[in-house]
Amino acid sequence: MSLEWLVAWGWSLDGLRDCIATGIQSVRDCDTTAVVTVACLLVLFVWYCYHVGREQPRPYVSVNALMQGPDANGLQNGFVYCQSPECVRCSHNGGLNQKLYHNLQEYAKRYSWSGMGRIHKGIREQGRYLNSRPSIQKPEVFFLPDLPTTPYFSRDAQKHDVELLERNFQTILCEFETLYKAFSNCSLPQGWKMNSTPSGEWVTFYLVNQGVCVPRNCRKCPRTYRLLGSLRTCIGNNVFGNACISVLSPGTVITEHYGPTNIRIRCHLGLKTPGGCELVVGGEPQCWAEGRCLLFDDSFLHTAFHEETIKRCLRKHLEQLKAPVGTLSEAFASLHLDPSPDESDVAPGSISEETLVQGACHLKCVCYGIGNFATCVIARNQLAFLLLFLEKCQIPRSHCWIYDPLFSQIEITVLNTLGVVVLSENEEGKRSVCGEPTVFYMLHCGTALYNNLLWSNWSVEALSKLVIIGNSFRGLEERLLTRILQKNYLYVAKILEGLEELAFPQTSQYVDVFNDTSIHWFPVQKLTQLSMDTWAFREEPDYEDCEDLEIIRNKTEEPSATDLNTL
């Protein structure tokens, strides 16, 4: 064994001697200018490494500072933040990044900057990163580039810790129930923190707060605290690390907000999850489940609530509905309405206030394309607004027809329970009003659906009975090329001169729900001014050459127009 080692060592020395000799000969043969150039490059490289290692992060204005002026009094996005100088989210200075940069420098002195280029660049360029982020993901303190950008993560992303937490679910639940009993004795027991919310109550019980253990609280949950020490990825010793019990009382809604950074993943373990609880991250809703973990990135815009869903949506849209009353009244004024029926014909639960127009109960309503309201918050808001709209207009729910090809069986059951009529067949929007004043509620539908509706009612008499609440026709005219609009959606193109349109009132809270929405009606005076050629052409749209139809076609044999004209 020793002989082999000596032979190998001798060979290594020979190789090293040959390498050095070759290098010396190369320098002798090389031009002096080339040698000087190489030496200068080496000096520049060493200087650059030294300069980068000592460079401080560029000063920047944090997102909090941009959003909170001197008179903001702690208000941000309508949410009241604490003003504690110890809070990493609420203190408006660059101390955190300076400290982080200093620690990295100390690490680099001991080891190297190797492998930390992204972190180094991220700290230096924080101002640019934070100010240029899209509104859907904008962490308030620190953004690290090139990380996965998704609101939710699969359980496999942290498989070990997820399984460990779920196996110990009963242990954590028992300690929580013991803690929660204290609420019967006083309003806010020791160790709990009350958070500011626009409605309801949100309290938290921290075991680890911004990387610092809370000893008094940990002694009350010893088994849960020991469990945290068994987690592989819990960042308990980091300023972004938190571990707490969070409780939302019924009726609580947390205002949409951003977390401090994207370098962590939040893990929620459901302990007690009654119905009506929901987490929405980046516009995507998820529900907690008892004993199950939910992973998400809280640097995305997110909110949470605990309340009966339909009741909540109806209440929060009440003011939204009041805004367009004048607009709707103006639209309904162009309809030929009959006298009001008996009060017994009014939908149960209708309010006793004055209706938008006289004779409103003879109105009918058709709703297309509302979407999967069981899983989509936007669709649920739109459904809630529809129900409130029927109530304000005193339209019986039995006079409202609704269809979406994506409805699940449970959604159909819910709609039947609400009293509206669910259509069993995909009409593709080809429904005639048959001389009866009708409101079509078609938010965010494909352009072909509007085109089909216009074709089915292509006459002065029929269109004058029509009100469409849906995508702005003027917006369609601006977005689509003229040749595309006239080729694929001819009836939309031809009616632009014969309609009145008013944009739907917008609020910052419901931009995604009612964006690009307008109220359209067709005054007789304008319709009669259109040329005779406009009304003479009545060919049914076929969309054979349309590449992006945006509607789901009827898979069965298309029924005749006569079959579709009955309500």
For 154-193, what is each residue's pLDDT tens digit? Answer: 988 899 999 999 999 999 999 998 888 877 555 678 889 9
Quickly state the pLDDT bin for 560 (edges 50, 70, 90). Answer: very low
The band of 98, judged by pLDDT with boundaries at 50, 70 and 90, is low
More confident position, 1 or 274: 274
Nearest C-alpha neighbor of 455 from the set 427, 436, 483, 479:
427
Q: What is the DSSP string of 420-433?
A: PEEPSS--TT----
Separation CA 427–CA 352 (nearest Å): 35
pLDDT value of position 503: 84
Compare 46 and 349 and report the one with higher pLDDT: 46
| Straight-line distance from the first to the last Cα atom of the chain, in angstroms, rounded to the nearest whole number | 97
Q: Under a CB-based contact definition with an 8 Å cutoff, are residues 295 and 266 in contact?
A: yes
Q: Which of 538, 287, 314 is nearest to 430 (CA)?
A: 538
pLDDT tops 90 at residue 485:
no
Average pLDDT over all residues of the chain = 75
Model confidence over 383-395: pLDDT tens digits? 988 998 888 888 8
Residue 60 has a pLDDT of 35
Tokens of 550: 């945006």
Bridge pairing between strands 438-442 and 421-422: unpaired
Strands 293-296 and 302-306: unpaired
Kindly state the tokens that stand for 24: 């010396």
3 CB neighbour count, 10 Å cutoff: 7
Give strand ranges (E) for 347-427: 364-368, 400-403, 421-422
Give dist(CA 457, CA 435) in Å, integer. Answer: 10
What confidence category does residue 149 fall into, taking pLDDT thresholds of 50, 70 and 90? confident
How many Å separate Cα 279 from the centre of its chain?
11
| Segment 361-379, tens digit of pLDDT | 578 999 998 888 887 888 8
Q: pLDDT value at position 332?
A: 53
Q: How far apart are CA 336 and CA 435, in angstroms?
A: 9
At 147, the pLDDT band (50, 70, 90 cuts) reads confident
* Helix, strand or coil, per DSSP, at residue 330: helix
pLDDT beyond 80 at 563:
no
Strands ordered across the beta sheet of 252-257: 252-257, 302-306, 277-281, 284-286
Q: When comparing pLDDT for 312 and 24, which is higher?
A: 24
Rounded CA-CA distance 229/221 in Å is: 13
Residue 70: its pLDDT value, please?
35
pLDDT for position 309: 45
pLDDT digits (tens, 9 = 90+) for 505-542: 776 667 778 888 888 988 888 899 998 888 988 888 88
Return the residue matching tokens 């920047």.
Answer: 60
68 vs 397: which has the higher pLDDT: 397
- Report residue 567's pLDDT band, with 50, 70 and 90 as the boundaries: very low
The mean pLDDT value for 231-259 works out to: 86
Cα atoms in the 13 Å half-sphere on the side-chain side of 15: 6
**If DSSP states are collapsed to H, E and C, what string results for 179-234?**
HHHHHHCCCCCCCEEEECCCECCEEEEEEEECCEECHHHHHHCHHHHHHHHHCCCC
- pLDDT confidence band for 480 (50 / 70 / 90): confident
DSSP secondary structure string for all residues of 1-60: -HHHHHHHHHHHHHHHHHHHHHHHHHHHHS-HHHHHHHHHHHHHHHHHHHHHHHPPPPP-
Number of other CB atoms surrounding residue 520 within 10 Å: 21
User: Token pair of 503, please?
Assistant: 């944009």
3-state secondary structure 453-520: HHHHCCCHHHHCCEEEEEECHHHHHHHCCHHHHHHHCHHHHHHHHHCEEEECCCCHHHHHHHCCEEEE
Q: What is the pLDDT of residue 434?
A: 84
Tokens (6 digits) for 276: 């009506």
Give the C-alpha separation, 483 to 501, whole Å: 23
pLDDT given at position 135: 72
d(CA 257, CA 351): 35
10 Å CB burial of residue 348 (0-12, 13-18, 19+) is exposed
At 21 the pLDDT is 64
Query: For the stretch 60-74, what's the b/e string if a residue is b when 16 or more beta carbons lie within 10 angstroms of its beta carbon?
Result: bebbbeeebeeeeee
When mean pLDDT is compared across 223-232, 332-341, 342-351, 443-452, the lowest value belongs to 342-351
On the question of pLDDT at 291 being above 60, the answer is yes
* pLDDT for residue 389: 87
- Residue 277: its H or E element: strand 277-281
**Rg for the chain (alpha carbons), in Å?**
33
Does residue 441 surpass a pLDDT of 90? yes
Mean pLDDT (whole number) for 94-123: 67
**pTM confidence score:** 0.46
pLDDT band at 137 (very low <50, low <70, confident <90, very high): confident
Q: What is the pLDDT of residues 199-222, one digit of tens each?
A: 778 899 999 998 889 999 999 999
**What is the distance between the alpha carbons of residues 80 and 83, in angstroms, rounded to a whole number?**
9
Higher pLDDT, 127 or 141: 141
Indicate if the pLDDT at residue 352 is higher than 50. no
Beta-carbon count within 10 A of 443 CB: 24
**Percent of the chain clearing pLDDT 90 (strictly above):** 22
CA 412/CA 51 separation, integer angstroms = 66
Residue 536 tokens read as 């003479």
Is pLDDT of 344 > 50? no
> Strand 75-76 relative to strand 421-422: parallel, antiparallel, unpaired?
unpaired
Domains, the chain, in order of start with CATH, read: 152-307 (2.60.120.330), 364-535 (3.40.50)
Kindly report, residue by residue over 186-197, the tens digit of the pLDDT: 567 888 998 888
Region class of 515: left (phi > 0), else alpha (psi between -120 and 50), else beta: beta
Of 345-349, 376-380, 563-567, which one has max mean pLDDT? 376-380
Least-confidence region, from 37-41, 115-119, 467-471: 115-119
